[in-house]
Amino acid sequence: MNIRNNPFAVSKLMTLIFFTAMSMKSISTTTEPDVFIHYAMFFSAKHKSFTTEALLEQCDLNEVTQIESFDSPVKGPSVFISKNSLEELAVPSMQLLQYFGRGFNQSQAEKIMSSAFSVSLVAMGPFDKQHSLFKTISKCAASMSNTYDSFVFDVADSLTFTPEAFQQIRLNELNQNLMSAKQFGVRAYRVEEGVRSVSMGLEKFGQYNLVIENFSEHHMGYIDKFFNLVLQQVIESDHKITEGKLTIDVSTITNKHVRNNINEFIDTNGTGKTTITLEIAKPLDGDPQKLLAIRFKSKLGEPLWTEQSELLKSVFGKDRAVSNVTQSISLEAAIIEARNKARTILENGHTLEADGIRMLIATELTDAPEVVWVEVKAFNGTSGIGVLLSQPKSNDRLKSGSEYEFTFESIMDFKLYGPEGLIDQGGIDEIARSQ
Q: Regarding beta strands 209-215 and 291-294, do their DSSP bridges make them parallel or antiparallel, or are they unpaired?
A: parallel
| 51 and 166 both lie in a single domain | yes
Q: What's the pLDDT score for residue 397? A: 80
Query: What CATH number does the domain containing 399 carry?
Result: 2.30.30
Check residue 326 and give its pLDDT. 53
Within a domain: 323: no
Alpha helices in 74-219 (DSSP H): 94-100, 106-113, 132-148, 163-166, 172-175
Q: What average pLDDT does the chain have?
A: 82
Top-confidence residue, 372 or 251: 251
Count how many domains the chain has: 3
For residue 332, the surrounding DSSP H or E stretch is: helix 329-347
Cβ 363 vs Cβ 395: under 8 Å: no
* Residue that is last in its domain, among 131, 146, 177: 177
Tell me, yes or no, whether 198 lies in a domain: yes
206 SS3 class: coil
Q: Is the pTM of this model over 0.75?
A: no
Q: Give the range among 69-83, 176-190, 214-228, 419-433 with minimum mean pLDDT.
A: 419-433
**For position 1, what pLDDT does the model report?**
31
Residue 141 belongs to some domain of the structure: yes
Residues 27 and 33: their CA atoms lie apart, in Å, by 10
Cβ neighbours of residue 33 closer than 8 Å, sequence gap 6 or more = 27, 74, 124, 125, 126
Output 14 or 158, whichever has higher pLDDT.
158
Residue 2: inside a domain: no
Q: Looking at the domain assignment, is residue 22 inside a domain?
A: yes
Q: Are residues 285 and 225 in the same domain?
A: yes
6: pLDDT strictly greater than 80: no
Residues whose CB falls within 8 Å of the CB of residue 9, separated by 6 or more in sequence, listed in order: none
Mind listing the pLDDT tens digit for each residue in 42-51? 999 998 888 8
Q: What is the pLDDT of residues 294-303, one digit of tens each?
A: 999 998 888 8
Q: Which amino acid is at 348?
A: N
Which of 47, 9, 286 shows the shortest CA–CA distance to 163?
47
Amino acid at 371: V
The domain boundary residue, chosen from 177, 209, 238: 177
Q: What angle do CA 416, 387, 358 make, to 5 degrees?
A: 20
My answer on whether 166 and 40 are in the same domain is: yes
In this structure, the answer to whether residues 167 and 42 fall within a common structural domain is yes
Widest pairwise Cα distance in the chain: 71
Distance CA 60, CA 75 (A): 20
Domain match, 158 and 230 both: no
User: Does any domain span residue 172?
Assistant: yes
Domain containing 69 equals 7-177
pLDDT of residue 281: 94
pLDDT tops 50 at residue 10: no
Instruction: Read off the pLDDT of residues 133-155 as tens digits, 9 standing for 90 and up.
Output: 999 999 999 999 988 989 999 88
Q: Which residue has the higher pLDDT, 357 or 207?
A: 207
Q: What is the mean pLDDT of residues 49-67?
A: 88
Instruction: Give residue 387's pLDDT.
Output: 84
- 1 within some domain: no
- The last residue of one of the domains, among 316, 340, 365, is 316
Strand ranges of the sheet holding 273-281, from the earlier edge strand across to the other edge: 185-191, 194-200, 209-215, 291-294, 273-281, 244-249
Query: At residue 358, does pLDDT exceed 70?
Result: yes
Q: What is the DSSP letter of 367?
A: S
